[in-house]
Amino acid sequence: MPIDTHSQNDPLFSCDDTGPDVVTVYFEDLPIPASAGSSVAAALLVYGVVVFRSTPVSAAPRAPYCMMGVCFECLVEIDGVPNCQACLTAVREGMQVRRQQGPATLPSGVKGAGDVC
Amino acid sequence: MNSLPNPAYLQKAMAPTSMIVIGGGLLGAAIAYGASRAGASVILLDQGDIAHRASRGNFGLVWVQAKGDSAPHYARWCRDAASRWPAMAQELMTLTGIDVVLRQHGGVHFCFSDAEMEARQALLKRIDQAAGGIPFSMLDRSDVRARLPGVGPSVVGASFCPLDGHANPLKLLLALHAGMKARGVCVMSGVDVAEIRHCEAQGGFEVRSTDGRTWQAPRVVVAAGLGTTRLAQQVGLHAPLSPIRGQMLITERLQPFLPYPTEGVRQTDEGSVQLGNSFESVGADAGTTVLEIEAIAKSAVAAFPRLSSARLIRAWACLRVLTPDSLPVYEESSSCPGAFVATSHSGVSLAALHAAVIGPWMAGLRDEPVEISAFAGSRFLDPARSYSNAFLDAFANAH
Amino acid sequence: MSADLVDLVIVGAGPAGLSAAVEARSLGLQVLLLDEQRSAGGQIYRGVDVASARQLSVLGRDYAAGAALTDAFKHCGASHVAGAAVWNVSRDRTVNYLQQGRNLSVRARHIILATGAMERPFPIAGWTLPGVMGAGAAQILYKNASALPSEPVVLAGCGPLLYLLACQYLAAGVTLKAVVQTTQTRDYLRAARYAAGALKGCGDLLKGLRMTVQLRRHGVRVFSAAQALSIDGTERAEGLQFTQRGRVHRIASSLILLHQGVVPNTQLSLSLNARHSWSDMQLCWLPDTDADGQIDDIGIYIAGDSRGIVGAKASALQGRRTAIAVARRLFPGKADYLAALDARLRGELRGMLHIRPFLDALYRPALEHRVPPQDSVIVCRCEEVSAGQLRRFTELGCQGPNQTKAFGRCGMGPCQGRLCGLTVTEVIAHARAVPPGAVGYYRVRPPIKPITLGELSGP
């Protein structure tokens, strides 16, 4: 059961000091600004994304918990690669991010996940 | 959970023990379950936590194809076991509520060259003719792609057997344990058996654990995995076994894409893909190696290129229990009648037969199965006889 | 794939790893340091090299001091392999790591594992809801992206990090809706027994009290001796519920930051089959090492919080001492000089460690927040296995965490037991009425970090 794509919420976090470099990443095709150097997880949270994924077991809504790569809750699809840890991936200009709905669908092209995340 | 023992258990608990089963793995549990179902009063002694638990290393296949080359009795045995699987799965579900997740729609074996295709076809035809009916078909490149979309370009064809399938080995073990309890088997965990003594005068056996506890029964079954050889010897049975390490990988959960299992790749019902297998003679070392992990990953990606983006969650290893010809040993001792040995590395494939036939036979509630003498361990004592480990050979060549 | 044999490979760029590298380099060792992040600093000094003046001001002096260490590391001549996810360390001292999609390896004469700590899980009802995060997680958000809570936020739990974050938020002008402390009278009493041996502890205790006063002065509602924490909400966090002196309190909030201490990151040490013992003081598994921090005499050492929680400064000292121990083995001729060097550090370290028992006692997480009394609380987040299900497994004969994998999929998800392991050990121990040490822990196997089959296969 996919999470409503455009459930825009009031962000839980806001950016105190964006810094000079801003890049544009796309969350479910929506362009969002992000400070260069920030993690994808941080960028999404600041933008107002509350739910990052639905679990493969019960489609429960989940979001980042540890922000350091040990909880695996912040899994999103980045540039077509499923189950990337958003907190361990830095934003890049033009990056395409989508929620991870349930278990991963393997892309049929032979791309290595390491190229993106 | 019901805190009161069920009436069947009470009744059995009152009756004198008719059989002791040593070993609570897939073999022992199936045998004890089946014996109890047939009416025996059974005690099962299990090491529990310290056990090697070969079932952890079982790939989960219910497999018939290519089994029993130059051993038609074994091919028939495997076929019989596979055909009984659905009934056993259903029975365990009804009795325990545990779903062992049997998916039995056929199994595939990949061939990577025309020469392999020819050899494979010749092998399966040979077995089919000798055993009197083991179905199979050969799939060409387009057939394989039709059945398994996304299969890699290096796969030129495959063999298919409609009897093959897969199940969850750990769930099966759990279900058998729950089934045993439901049927009134007395399961004692944390028991490390030191010795079996044949008490001819009392017409039975005394089993003693390392901590000094004892149990008596007129019949005893040794199904203790790698510990079988030593104990079997004590009751005049020969069951040479070696530990052969198997390493396996499991991926993250994935959307279903693999409708049939192969010997090296199968997708569980939760979506994770299990990959294997290695065959290493390294003694009692159940560690993983980077070399094998990478080799298994490479084979998986060759078979299904899209697995390239699947993340590995875990690699593990287990020690298989293998006889010199990789076929089972089922035998009653002639020097100590009432003592039996049972060992096989195909604890999942053969489970239904172990429960329906072996258990009741060893409990004295069923006639000796036809062709059982071919599985006697004494076959390894015959100097005139030669055998090869077809199982090991087949996979040694695959890697 | 490197065929070279490096003198010393260090895993982790936190205080212990960086200090070990600097010390080892000063002693003439060849050093390669692997770290997952793009820049050095670990969790505590994350981003310190690029921190703005504002961030340095908010985060405080202790954080800013980390820049001296990262700077020393930058100039010490060690090879820094950034963005490297170590997915396996073998007992023969081969390290396998993933960097930019490439599966690489390096062989070492000696290895120091300095993988630090992670926040202890906080398994309460609703803890898996979006909007619930660790206090440490929130701190990382600020360090990484200058992100601050946009609405009044609730902090709950215990431990120095919770109070540190509260202070930092005040400095940053964040509105704290409430700080809910779970420390009970019995914790103060227990800690008091250790205060005598830790004069510094009184200082910290005072620091904590001063901070509570400061919070109250800012109009922050501070609740003490809170119990039975739970999160309200169905699809996302809506508030925190707790009891205090028998009264039920509900505080509405979309963001709740939980914290009840940090625990060692033991995935690598466990995967090496090193023995670990349950520490009742720290309520976690600690690797068994010799005085130098070495596991099993195999040339692999552990330094810093991943050997046992000691804090940043002590971790740095431990890192230095471990480097000296390695140098002693590589340069036996320098033994006397190195022994003298180590003796000074040993004294300094001992002084820093006096306070640990006091802190462990004072900030001991409550049993009800480690072993959920309610059956419905999720323990294994990845596979959604609840406390009740775990207790049922135990009734059915499950003896320990490894067997839970057969009964249900507990611990089989992507986090590999990091967020559930400690809870599973304690829930089973409790259900079986045996000590956690007797129950054991998950068998940890590679890959320690995610790696795809394609990456494993190589080019």
Q: Where are the domains of chain C?
A: 5-118+263-330, 121-260, 371-439
The region of weakest confidence among B276-285, B291-300, C421-430 is B276-285
Nearest CB among B255, B270, B308 relative to A104 is that of B255
Q: Does B329 lie in the same domain as B318?
A: no
* Among B151, B122, B121, CA closest to B137: B121
Q: What is the DSSP string of A78-90?
A: ETTEEEEEGGGSB
pLDDT over 80 at A111, yes or no: no
Give the whole-number percent of chain B exceeding pLDDT 90: 82
What is the fold, at CATH topology level, of the domain defined by C5-118+263-330? FAD/NAD(P)-binding domain (3.50.50)
Range of the domain at B25: 7-62+170-241+325-388
CA B306 to each of CA A30, B153, B297, B313, C395: distance values in angstroms, whole numbers, following the listed order: 28, 12, 12, 17, 42
pLDDT over 90 at C135, yes or no: yes
pLDDT over 80 at A117, yes or no: no
The answer to whether the beta carbons of residues B156 and B112 sit under 8 Å apart is yes
pLDDT over 70 at C269, yes or no: yes
Encoded amino acid at B246, one letter: G
Range of the domain at A91: 24-102
pLDDT given for residue B393 in this prediction: 64
Residue-wise over B82-110: b if at least 16 C-beta within 10 A, else e?
bebbeebbebbeeebebebebbbebbbbb
Smallest Cα distance from A112 to chain C, Å: 6
pLDDT given for residue B200 in this prediction: 81
Cβ of A37 under 8 Å from any chain C Cβ? yes
pLDDT given for residue A7 in this prediction: 46
Superfamily the domain C121-260 falls into: FAD/NAD(P)-binding domain (3.50.50.60)
pLDDT over 70 at B319, yes or no: yes
| Mean pLDDT, residues A77-88 | 96
Spell out which residues of chain C touch residue A83, defining contact as CB-CB under 8 Å. Answer: 414, 450
* Cβ count near B388 (within 10 Å): 12
What is the CATH classification number for the domain harbouring A82? 3.10.20.440
**Using the beta-carbon criterion (under 8 Å), do B309 and C452 form an inter-chain contact?**
yes
Q: Is B367 exposed, middle or buried (0-12, 13-18, 19+ CB in 10 A)?
A: exposed
Question: Which residue did the predictor score with more confidence, B10 or C427?
Answer: C427
Domain membership of residue A76 (yes or no) is: yes
Nearest CA in chain B to C408: B171
Question: Please, which pLDDT band fits residue A6 given cuts at 50, 70 and 90?
Answer: very low
* Among A30, A43, A48, A50, CA closest to A89: A43
* Cβ count near C105 (within 10 Å): 14
Nearest CA in chain B to A58: B270
Spell out which residues of chain A touch residue B305, defining contact as CB-CB under 8 Å. Answer: 110
Domain membership of residue A108 (yes or no) is: no
CA C46 to each of CA A42, B222, B391, C145, C351: distance values in angstroms, whole numbers, following the listed order: 14, 59, 53, 11, 26
Best B148, B308, B309 residue to mutate vs chain A (most A CBs within 10 Å): B309
pLDDT given for residue C168 in this prediction: 95
Q: Does B333 lie in the same domain as B282?
A: no
Domain membership of residue B73 (yes or no) is: no
pLDDT over 90 at C42, yes or no: yes
Domain membership of residue A9 (yes or no) is: no
The answer to whether the beta carbons of residues B48 and B190 sit under 8 Å apart is yes
The answer to whether the beta carbons of residues C252 and C221 sit under 8 Å apart is no
Tell whether omega for the bond before C88 is within 30 degrees of 0, i.e. cis.
Answer: no
Give the whole-number percent of chain C exceeding pLDDT 90: 86
Nearest CB among A42, A61, A90 relative to C235 is that of A61
Q: Chain-wide mean pLDDT for chain A?
A: 88
Residue-wise over A22-59: b if at least 16 C-beta within 10 A, else e?
ebebebeeeebebbebbbbbbbbbbbbbbbbbbbbbee
Cβ of B178 under 8 Å from any chain C Cβ? yes
The domain boundary, picked from B285, B302, B322, lies at: B322
Nearest CA in chain A to C132: A65
The region of weakest confidence among B222-231, C6-15, C168-177, C196-205 is C196-205
pLDDT given for residue B394 in this prediction: 58
Nearest CB among B1, B174, B312 relative to C456 is that of B312
**Using the beta-carbon criterion (under 8 Å), do C447 and B1 form an inter-chain contact?**
no
Spell out which residues of chain C touch residue B177, defining contact as CB-CB under 8 Å. Answer: 397
Domain C5-118+263-330 and domain C121-260, same fold? Reply is: yes
Smallest Cα distance from C134 to chain A, Å: 6
Chains A, C: CB contacts within 8 A come to 150
Question: Please, which pLDDT band fits residue B216 given cuts at 50, 70 and 90?
Answer: very high
**Using the beta-carbon criterion (under 8 Å), do B254 and A104 form an inter-chain contact?**
yes
Spell out which residues of chain C touch residue B251, defining contact as CB-CB under 8 Å. Answer: 453
Please report the ipTM that was assigned to this predicted complex.
0.95
Encoded amino acid at B83, one letter: S
Domain membership of residue B282 (yes or no) is: yes
Residues B165-190: tens digit of each pLDDT: 999 998 999 999 999 999 999 999 88
The domain boundary, picked from B273, B301, B322, lies at: B322
Residues A35-63: tens digit of each pLDDT: 999 999 999 999 999 999 999 999 999 99
Domain count within chain B: 2
* Cβ count near B79 (within 10 Å): 22
**Using the beta-carbon criterion (under 8 Å), do A82 and B257 form an inter-chain contact?**
no
pLDDT over 50 at C2, yes or no: no
Domain count within chain A: 1
Q: Chain-wide mean pLDDT for chain C?
A: 94
CATH number for region C371-439: 1.10.10.1100
The answer to whether the beta carbons of residues B326 and B206 sit under 8 Å apart is no
Q: Measure CA C47 to chain center.
A: 18
pLDDT given for residue C383 in this prediction: 96
Which residues is A77 bridged to in the sheet? A98
Q: Which two tokens stand for residue A113?
A: 């996940």
Residues B327-341: tens digit of each pLDDT: 999 999 999 999 999
The domain boundary, picked from B273, B307, B322, lies at: B322
